[in-house]
Amino acid sequence: MENPVREKRQEYRERYQINLAEWLLYHQQNIVFDKCYWMGKRAYKNPFDAWVYQEIIYEVQPDVIVEIGSAEGGSTLYLAHLLELIGNGTVVSVDLDRSKFNVSHKRIVQVTGDSSSEEVIAKVSELCQGKKVLIIHDGNHRKVQVLKDLKLYADLVSVGSYLIVEDGIIDLFEVGSALAGYPEGPLAATEEFLMDNQNFIVDESRERYLLTYNPKGFLKRIS
């Protein structure tokens, strides 16, 4: 007689045999682009990182979250809902392309244009003036652009708050794999940025769940 409990145990044991790298590739290939949603809106996020974001937002209590790169807006809406829960704050969504952005919320402000253009920088700076600011970079992932944005936006981050650099994971995988399309990306940019900027440190405690897309990407401003 078959034992359904034993069969189910075996099924899950086989699943749990994969290593962290295999899980990251599985998530990238099978989940993140078409099976990861926040309130019905596609959100291109690793759920472990999304959990850490709510911890940081609760601790920092930002007045403004600048999200550089919003895609379809699921992550933007997620951030807006977190701010709604703590009763404070605005999400400033910076993106060049709004063709797929399909969310709205009273706490979301759209700034459309090139993140490194003078016009966009000026508008974002105006919205951050005198506010406690947290920044999440999820825009163009090539090293040159990420480094440029980090240098342009770093001064807006409040002491005690964070500059989160997303998707440095692509630097840790072979070019051509599901997680890496080019040789140098956000992690390479972050490492160079930190060499010239002593105001930020890597908060490694934010990587304690291990399965992060943002290695060395949780940068806390200390001065």
Strands (E), 39-187: 41-42, 64-68, 90-95, 108-112, 133-137, 162-165
3-state secondary structure of 162: strand
Could you report the per-residue pLDDT of 88-129, keeping only the tens digit for each?
Answer: 999 999 999 999 999 999 999 999 999 999 999 999 999 999
Q: List the Cα angle 163/148/62 in 5-degree steps.
A: 20
Q: What are the C-alpha distances in Å from 141 to residues 17, 179, 190? A: 31, 12, 11
Confirm if 51 and 43 have CB atoms less than 8 A apart.
no
- pLDDT higher than 70, residue 169: yes
Tokens 């899980």 label which residue?
Answer: 23
| CA dist., res. 196 & res. 9, Å (int) | 51
> What does the domain layout of the chain look like in residue ranges?
37-221
| Fold of domain 37-221 | Rossmann fold (3.40.50)
Could you report the per-residue pLDDT of 185-217, keeping only the tens digit for each?
Answer: 999 999 999 999 999 999 999 999 999 999 999
Q: What are the C-alpha distances in Å from 203 to residues 6, 70, 193, 218? A: 42, 24, 15, 6
